[in-house]
């Protein structure tokens, strides 16, 4: 393989793509994703954490800033936080055993008609297994053990809107179940095939529909096929000097259609908005036909917005094929930053004030103490005595001189974007507010590392799973006045539930406030524990997460801020939106898809 | 509305209880002064936000809740907000405690002296103390002692100080403030004062509830109050009051704290200090007003022997576990949490049920002395009983009580005759023993008018009854079943159940019978009587056995005075002058029975209240 690489930047991270693919978008490569991506873990095959022979953690590959680096403090953090040990390994099954995959049950008539359309398809075990799951803990855990439940019987790769129309039409004619597949980054069991589905299940992979069809510089919109993956969309737009600014944590792999179908939220929503603020026009193919609006008016008063039936429909109504999305000129200047607070309470008060004054930077996030320590454990080896001396000095200043308790202090990470002058002005404004809440500016580097944590966390989970540690993240949104109570109670509930369910080691339960709104905030939890000594760790994990969600709801939090409902959380839908609300959604589903062709059974 | 949490058909006799330690023992052998001045570093709640009483007051006055109420009242009355705020500040000033270690040390010293003079022993279950210490660190704690005497809260603080636990803040009646100096000293040892009634006063309620909740949320100190609301003059537990319990539960319902530990505490006295006063009060002599001079005059009680005190710290009850599946906390999601609102019906029912449950837990761990059994038997034998027979009966009753789960302080090595003899010796004022017979002391020392004689006789019956009352909770359910069987005059289970249900309803002001718990209580009664082979419960029938006659007749006659009291109803005084030997009727003179009977009749809509 030629080692010439093309560099591209995603959120400050250098992503490397082999030069022979540079004419392609990543989406195109994803025709057979398993060649570049792990089949039983997160992300690229070449990028993973491991403990080397010296017992030090390192991150392999060349794609990320952290790639090839040694992380000297990760081992100690890992062992002391989880009571884990490098001696106790729980390795995954190395290769996919195709013979263990259930044989496809094909609808021959459908297959015949499909062949005549010329749309590519496959019933290879690898292709089917790859599209049978998202990234929930139980899904990955089963893959690592080489266990497969119901998987799609067939995968199709439509190349354009018309191909989708044809596929859906055939599916209706032959009563075949369709499950749209975008980036596969779902964490709501949305991609899981219903085990009792007797029809042929076809996974409709949108990866080949990844072109930017046009860019309208007068109105600052772009018309894009929905299969495009986040990093490609940004890179291609960047080439013309634009961006969407939509950066969910999964943007390396998740697709535009997936964002629409789950009501995604991006890190920089304070500047660019969430997906519902970004889309101008959506085209969706349903069993009943194609649904779209007739104009691109920036705002309309023509009854309930049909986009809101589509956004968050989670693949139950049809396939999103094309989207017109707002674009912005690329920002001239970007700057990271961070603030240390004496405790989480002060930090939340500061974020609330920032939201009140509506001066939130592109991104502002507040990590609690445990997460701050976690981030610290990811510090790469320092190159010189001078840097380590400086680090020591900083620590001394904060803990001794300023009197911050290292077990209570917490850090907010910031990202400013815009033209240089305004960024600097904005920065000052935010730091002034922070100072009122006892916050001390703690440098760009800490800020950038904070964002890196979200980027590599999914890779870290795979490392944990090699050593008996399982975990996951979940999120909610909550009014400002209940943020602190919710964070405290949910963390405590996790600890208590783990104890009661026989988990032998104290769990890691940590949270951060990741988004601010006028009326509340988005809170994100990490939860992980060492499962040595447990017979059915996944089951226990599920019960604890269930209890944590109950606690969230009891404390005024929402069922989901941006992960969606899928099948994992649909149990709580009636209490979340009332029975009448469920009825509304059901009646739409019944009209749009009376035969339940889109039979993923998400949401309802 | 059956709750399945309260009743489990376990064998009450096998209940495991902790051992006691006497805390006075050390006091008798080492310096009280050194004890009062020793280093005191209690463990505290892990989430504590340390603050001084002054800061606490500011926090309350500036709370969203209070600001909201002030703004609303100002809108309603047209009064300026500042004036109302002033008023709120005045209320808080009058209410708030000013806990100071110096005062606590003073009390530690003087109470050591007083306790050693008054009591033989003050016995505490140290396992309970350890559990409490654990709870205090984990969650806000609410201490719920039983209330029989003014001593209760002094004892509580004294014990917590002794074991190096955080001193509680205590809800006390405003009456204490009437005592010069002493009132203020109580305040400085952690008491806060609330008016006895403030029904419609919105501002008072807001200040009061916010004050308590702020202390709870901050984990400021354990909060102590008496579920029964006032001292029980009869030594029976009183129907719990719900106001404060509602307040301390709200922070949990609203997610402001993760959990609240409710700790039932049973304080049992071998002789209550106020024994003589209570009987007089029950007969209509008004309660002496709390005053410092009264307290000084009461010094003379220091010369008497009041036996032992047992303080049993029960297992902390997690509010979260109780509320699991009962309270949907998301009901508070749609209204800002500082806006007061009426608790939903399910919440009210839950609070009520929990209150009953806690009082029952208090009752369960009340230590009973052999004298209680003797008193019960003497009251059933107004004409006296042979010593031999009394010993035999006491021994029999002991077996029955233990099998029903009574917490008897009667070690195995003490023979029945010894236990009876020493009981009679401690209560010479109430019993007369002559010629091998024991009888209640009914004859007045110096004959007076018939009314005075009657009064004295009634007073001694009521004093004695207050001991018997201590064991009623053990026998209550089986006795109701026994009475129901008598009433139904048939053995069909359904008929008996409906009589049981009726009796239970009638007596629900008198005893701790949680509304809605009839089915469980019936099952419990059947279980207990079956276990001691007194009845035979079949699918359709409940039949008394041969052997059961003695048990059933004992049980029914134990509760006879109440049945009589309720039958006689109001104005029994005249009748009694005519039939002064009818002993059971003396108890009908008790204002407590009359009050309860009237309340029951009103509740059951048998009588109606007319405003005159």
Other C-beta atoms closer than 10 Å to the C-beta of A297 total 11
Please give the pLDDT value at position A29. 54
Residues near B53 by Cβ (< 8 Å), separated by ≥ 6? B96, B97, B98, B99
Three-class DSSP labels, B347-394? HHHHHHHHHHHHHHHHHHCCCECHHHHHHHHHHHCCCCEEHHHHHHHH
Any CB–CB contact under 8 A between B256 and chain A? yes
Please give the pLDDT value at position A26. 52
CA–CA dist A517, A522 (Å, integer): 8
Helix (H) or strand (E) holding B404: none
Taking the CA atoms of chain A, what radius of gyration do you get in angstroms?
Answer: 24
Helix (H) or strand (E) holding A62: none
- Per-residue pLDDT at A337 exceeds 90: yes
What average pLDDT does the segment B261-290 reach?
85
Smallest CA–CA distance from B138 into chain A, residue = A492
Give chain A positions within 8 Å (CB) of B337. 481-482
Three-class DSSP labels, B160-193? HHHCCECCCEEEEEHHHHHCCCHHHHHHHCCEEE
CA–CA dist A159, A120 (Å, integer): 9
Q: What is the pTM of this model?
A: 0.90
8 Å CB contact between A269 and A253: no
Q: Determine whether A79 is exposed, middle or buried from the number of CB atoms within 10 Å of its CB (0-12, 13-18, 19+).
A: middle
What average pLDDT does the segment A77-104 reach?
92
Please give the pLDDT value at position A63. 86
B21 beta partners: B124
Find, among A517, A337, A522, A332, the residue nearest to A415 by Cα. Answer: A337
Give chain B positions within 8 Å (CB) of A554. 255, 328-330
Find, among B432, B431, B409, B434, the residue nearest to B419 by Cα. Answer: B409
To the question of whether residue A28 is assigned a binding role by annotation, the answer is no
| % residues pLDDT > 70 (chain B) | 92
- Per-residue pLDDT at B3 exceeds 60: no
Closest approach of A292 to chain B, Cα-based (Å): 35
CB contact under 8 A, B256 and A485: yes
The per-residue DSSP string of A433-452 comes to: HHHHTT-EE--HHHHHHHHH
8 Å CB contact between B273 and B150: yes
Helix (H) or strand (E) holding B308: strand B308-313
Residues near B137 by Cβ (< 8 Å), separated by ≥ 6? B43, B44, B45, B46
Find, among A601, A603, A604, A600, the residue nearest to A204 by Cα. Answer: A600
Please give the pLDDT value at position A12. 46
| % residues pLDDT > 90 (chain B) | 49
What A43-47 contacts at long range (C-beta under 8 Å, 24+ apart), as own/partner pairs, is A43/A252, A43/A253, A43/A458, A43/A459, A47/A459
What average pLDDT does the segment B326-334 reach?
93
- Per-residue pLDDT at A96 exceeds 60: yes
CA–CA dist A321, A1 (Å, integer): 34
CA–CA dist B56, B62 (Å, integer): 10
Smallest CA–CA distance from B332 into chain A, residue = A556
Any CB–CB contact under 8 A between B138 and chain A? no
What average pLDDT does the segment A560-576 reach?
96
Any CB–CB contact under 8 A between B333 and chain A? yes
Query: B495-511: buried (b, 16+ CB within 10 Å) or exposed (e) per residue?
Result: bbbebbbbbbebbbbbb
Which pairing describes strands A121-122 and A154-156: parallel, antiparallel, or unpaired? antiparallel
CA–CA dist B479, B500 (Å, integer): 10
Taking the CA atoms of chain B, what radius of gyration do you get in angstroms?
Answer: 25
Give chain B positions within 8 Å (CB) of A343. none
Question: In whole angstroms, how far apart are CA B252 and each of B204, B260, B331?
Answer: 22, 7, 13
Q: Which of B138, B216, B255, B328 is most worth mutating to test chain A (most A CB atoms within 10 A of its CB)? A: B255
| Pair of tokens at residue B535 | 């009845």
- Per-residue pLDDT at B496 exceeds 80: yes
To the question of whether residue A265 is assigned a binding role by annotation, the answer is yes
Closest approach of A83 to chain B, Cα-based (Å): 23
Nearest to A489 among B255, B328, B336 (CB): B255
pLDDT digits (tens, 9 = 90+) for B62-98: 999 999 999 999 999 998 999 999 999 999 999 999 8
CB contact under 8 A, A575 and B258: no
B156: confidence class by pLDDT, cuts 50, 70, 90: very high
pLDDT digits (tens, 9 = 90+) for A125-174: 999 999 999 999 999 999 999 999 999 999 999 999 999 999 999 999 99
Q: How far apart are the first and last CA of chain A?
A: 48
Other C-beta atoms closer than 10 Å to the C-beta of B172 total 21
8 Å CB contact between B390 and B418: no
CB contact under 8 A, A492 and B337: no
CB contact under 8 A, B255 and A575: no
Which pairing describes strands B121-125 and B308-313: parallel, antiparallel, or unpaired? parallel
CA–CA dist B23, B112 (Å, integer): 10
| Pair of tokens at residue A248 | 């969910």
What average pLDDT does the segment B314-342 reach?
93
Please give the pLDDT value at position A339. 95
B507: confidence class by pLDDT, cuts 50, 70, 90: very high
To the question of whether residue A8 is assigned a binding role by annotation, the answer is no
Three-class DSSP labels, A244-308? CCCCCCCCCCCEHHHHHHHCCCCCCHHHHCCHHHHEEEEEEEECCEEECCCCCCCCCCCCCCCHH
Any CB–CB contact under 8 A between B255 and chain A? yes
Residue B430 per-residue DSSP state: T
Nearest to A492 among B258, B332, B337 (CB): B258
Sign of CA dihedral A433, A437, A440, A444: negative
Please give the pLDDT value at position B582. 52
Alpha carbon A343 to its chain's center: 28
8 Å CB contact between A103 and A51: no
Give chain B positions within 8 Å (CB) of A488. 47, 258
8 Å CB contact between B410 and B394: no
| Pair of tokens at residue A236 | 């291609």
Q: Pick the residue with more confidence: A403 or A227?
A: A227
- Per-residue pLDDT at A395 exceeds 90: no
Please give the pLDDT value at position A56. 92
What average pLDDT does the segment A563-572 reach?
96
**Catalytic choice (A64, A272, A467, A524):** A524
pLDDT digits (tens, 9 = 90+) for B514-555: 888 899 999 999 999 999 889 988 888 888 998 889 999 999
Q: Apex CA A517: angle with CA A511 and CA A523, to 5°?
A: 15
The residue ranges of DSSP E strands in B58-152, in sequence order, are 121-125, 141-145
Q: Which of A75-79, A328-332, B43-47 has the lowest mean pLDDT?
A: B43-47
- Per-residue pLDDT at B265 exceeds 50: yes
- Per-residue pLDDT at A2 exceeds 50: no
CA–CA dist B143, B225 (Å, integer): 7
Q: How many CA atoms lie within 13 A of A114 on its CB side?
A: 25
pLDDT digits (tens, 9 = 90+) for B181-204: 778 888 888 999 998 877 788 999
Any CB–CB contact under 8 A between A476 and chain B? no
Give chain B positions within 8 Å (CB) of A489. 255, 258
Q: Pick the residue with more confidence: A219 or A67?
A: A219
Alpha carbon B122 to its chain's center: 18
Give chain A positions within 8 Å (CB) of B258. 488-489, 492-493
Is residue A524 flagged as an active site residue?
yes
Helix axes B370-380, B548-568, angle to 10 degrees: 70
| Pair of tokens at residue A68 | 């090839």
Please give the pLDDT value at position A75. 94
Closest approach of B588 to chain A, Cα-based (Å): 50
Any CB–CB contact under 8 A between B80 and chain A? no
CA–CA dist B115, B110 (Å, integer): 9
Residues near B105 by Cβ (< 8 Å), separated by ≥ 6? B36, B37
Find, among B467, B460, B373, the residue nearest to B419 by Cα. Answer: B373
- Per-residue pLDDT at A388 exceeds 80: no
Interface A-B: count of C-beta contacts within 8 A: 25
């Amino acid at each position: 393989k030629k080692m010439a690489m093309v560099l591209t930047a995603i959120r400050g991270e250098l992503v490397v793509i082999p030069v022979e693919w540079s004419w392609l978008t990543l989406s195109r490569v994803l025709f057979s994703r398993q060649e570049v991506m792990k089949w039983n873990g997160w992300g690229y095959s070449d990028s993973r954490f491991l403990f080397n022979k010296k017992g030090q953690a390192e991150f392999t590959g060349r794609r990320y800033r952290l790639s090839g680096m040694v992380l000297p403090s990760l081992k100690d953090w890992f062992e002391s936080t989880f009571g884990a040990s490098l001696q106790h390994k729980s390795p995954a099954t190395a290769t996919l055993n195709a013979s263990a995959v259930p044989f496809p049950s094909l609808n021959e008539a459908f297959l015949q008609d499909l062949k005549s359309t010329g749309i590519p398809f496959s019933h290879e075990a690898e292709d089917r297994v790859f599209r049978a799951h998202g990234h929930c803990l139980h899904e990955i855990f089963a893959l690592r053990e080489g266990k497969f439940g119901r998987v799609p019987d067939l995968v199709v790769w439509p190349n354009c809107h018309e191909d989708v129309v044809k596929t859906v039409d055939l599916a209706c004619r032959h009563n075949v179940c369709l499950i749209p597949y975008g980036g596969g980054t779902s964490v709501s069991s949305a991609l899981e095939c219903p085990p009792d589905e007797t029809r042929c299940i076809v996974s409709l992979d949108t990866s080949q529909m990844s072109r930017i069809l046009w860019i309208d510089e007068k109105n600052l919109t772009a018309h894009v096929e929905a299969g495009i993956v986040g990093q490609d969309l940004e890179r291609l737009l960047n080439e013309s000097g634009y961006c969407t600014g939509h950066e969910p944590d999964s943007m390396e792999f998740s697709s535009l259609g997936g964002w629409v179908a789950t009501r995604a939220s991006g890190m920089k929503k304070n500047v660019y908005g969430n997906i519902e603020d970004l889309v101008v026009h959506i085209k969706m193919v349903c069993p009943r036909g194609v649904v779209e609006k007739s104009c691109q008016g920036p705002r309309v008063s023509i009854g309930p917005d049909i986009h809101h039936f589509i956004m968050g429909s989670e693949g139950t109504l049809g396939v999103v094929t094309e989207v017109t999305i707002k674009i912005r000129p690329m920002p001239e200047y970007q700057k990271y930053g961070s603030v240390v607070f004496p405790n989480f309470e002060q930090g939340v008060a500061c974020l609330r004030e920032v939201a009140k004054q509506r001066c939130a930077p592109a991104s502002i996030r507040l990590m609690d103490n445990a997460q701050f320590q976690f981030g610290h454990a990811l510090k790469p080896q320092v190159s010189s005595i001078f840097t380590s001396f400086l680090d020591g000095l900083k620590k001394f200043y904060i803990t001794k001189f300023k009197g911050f308790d290292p077990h209570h202090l917490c850090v907010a990470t910031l990202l400013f974007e815009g033209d240089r002058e305004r960024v600097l002005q904005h920065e000052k404004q935010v730091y002034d507010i922070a100072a009122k809440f006892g916050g001390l500016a703690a440098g760009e580097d800490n800020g950038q590392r904070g964002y890196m944590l979200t980027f590599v966390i999914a890779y870290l989970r795979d490392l944990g799973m090699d050593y008996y540690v399982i975990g996951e993240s979940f999120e909610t949104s909550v009014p400002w006045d209940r943020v602190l109570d919710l964070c405290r109670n949910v963390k405590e509930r996790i600890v208590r539930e783990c104890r009661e369910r026989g988990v032998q080691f104290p769990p890691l339960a940590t949270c951060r406030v990741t988004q601010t709104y006028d009326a509340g905030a988005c809170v994100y939890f990490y939860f992980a524990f060492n499962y040595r000594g447990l017979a059915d760790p996944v089951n226990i994990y599920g019960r604890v997460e269930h209890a944590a969600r109950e606690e969230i709801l009891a404390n005024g939090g929402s069922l989901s801020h941006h992960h969606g409902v899928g099948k994992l959380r649909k149990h709580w839908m009636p209490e979340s939106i009332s029975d009448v609300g469920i009825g509304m959604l059901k009646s739409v589903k019944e009209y749009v898809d009376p035969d339940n062709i889109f039979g993923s059974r998400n949401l309802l | 509305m059956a709750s399945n949490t309260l009743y489990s058909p376990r064998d009450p006799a096998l209940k495991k209880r902790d051992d006691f330690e006497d805390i006075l023992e050390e006091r008798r052998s080492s310096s009280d002064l050194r004890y009062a001045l020793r280093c005191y570093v209690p463990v505290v709640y892990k989430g504590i936000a340390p603050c001084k009483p002054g800061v606490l007051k500011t926090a309350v006055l500036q709370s969203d809740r209070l600001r909201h109420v002030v703004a609303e009242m100002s809108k309603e009355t047209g009064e300026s907000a500042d004036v109302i705020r002033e008023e709120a500040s005045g209320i808080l000033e009058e209410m708030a405690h000013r806990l100071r270690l110096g005062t606590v040390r003073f009390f530690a010293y003087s109470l050591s002296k007083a306790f050693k003079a008054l009591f033989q022993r003050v016995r505490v279950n140290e396992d309970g103390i350890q559990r409490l210490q654990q709870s205090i660190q984990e969650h806000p704690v609410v201490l719920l002692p039983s209330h029989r005497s003014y001593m209760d809260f002094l004892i509580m603080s004294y014990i917590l100080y002794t074991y190096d636990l955080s001193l509680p803040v205590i809800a006390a009646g405003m009456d204490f403030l009437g005592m010069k100096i002493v009132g203020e000293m109580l305040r400085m040892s952690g008491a806060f004062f609330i008016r006895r009634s403030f029904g419609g006063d919105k501002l008072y309620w807001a200040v009061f509830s916010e004050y308590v909740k702020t202390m709870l949320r901050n984990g400021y100190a354990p909060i102590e109050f008496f579920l029964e609301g006032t001292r029980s003059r009869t030594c029976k537990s009183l129907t719990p009051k719900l106001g404060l319990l509602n307040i301390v539960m709200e922070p949990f319902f609203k997610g402001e704290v993760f959990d609240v530990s409710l700790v039932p505490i049973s304080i049992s006295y071998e002789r209550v200090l106020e024994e003589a006063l209570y009987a007089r009060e029950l007969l209509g002599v008004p309660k002496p007003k709390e005053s410092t001079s009264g307290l000084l005059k009461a010094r003379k009680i220091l010369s008497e022997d009041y036996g032992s005190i047992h303080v049993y710290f029960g297992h902390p009850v997690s509010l979260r576990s109780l509320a699991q599946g009962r309270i949907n906390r998301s009901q508070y999601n749609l209204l800002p949490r500082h806006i007061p609102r009426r608790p939903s019906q399910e919440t009210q029912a839950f609070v009520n049920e929990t209150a009953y449950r806690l009082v029952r837990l208090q009752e369960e761990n009340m230590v009973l002395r052999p004298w209680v059994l003797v008193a019960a038997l003497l009251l059933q034998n107004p004409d006296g009983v042979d010593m031999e027979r009394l010993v035999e009966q006491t021994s029999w009753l002991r077996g029955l009580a233990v099998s029903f789960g009574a917490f008897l302080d009667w070690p195995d090595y003490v023979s029945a005759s010894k236990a009876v003899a020493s009981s009679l010796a401690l209560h010479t004022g109430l019993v007369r023993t002559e010629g091998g017979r024991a009888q209640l002391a009914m004859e007045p020392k110096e004959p007076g008018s018939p009314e005075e004689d009657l009064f004295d006789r009634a007073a001694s019956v009521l004093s004695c009854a207050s001991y018997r009352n201590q064991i009623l909770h053990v026998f209550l359910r089986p006795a109701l079943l026994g009475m129901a069987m008598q009433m139904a005059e048939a053995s069909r289970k359904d008929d008996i159940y409906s009589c049981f249900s009726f009796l239970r309803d009638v007596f629900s002001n008198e005893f701790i019978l949680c509304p809605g718990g009839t089915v469980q209580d019936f099952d419990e009664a059947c279980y207990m009587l079956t276990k001691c082979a007194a009845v035979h419960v079949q699918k359709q029938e409940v039949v008394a056995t041969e052997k059961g006659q003695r048990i059933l007749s004992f049980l029914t006659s134990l509760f006879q005075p109440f049945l009589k009291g309720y039958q006689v109803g109001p104005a029994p005084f005249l009748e009694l002058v005519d039939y002064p030997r009818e002993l059971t009727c003396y108890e009908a003179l008790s204002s407590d029975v009359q009050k309860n009977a009237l309340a029951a009749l009103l509740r059951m809509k048998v009588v109606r209240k007319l405003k005159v």
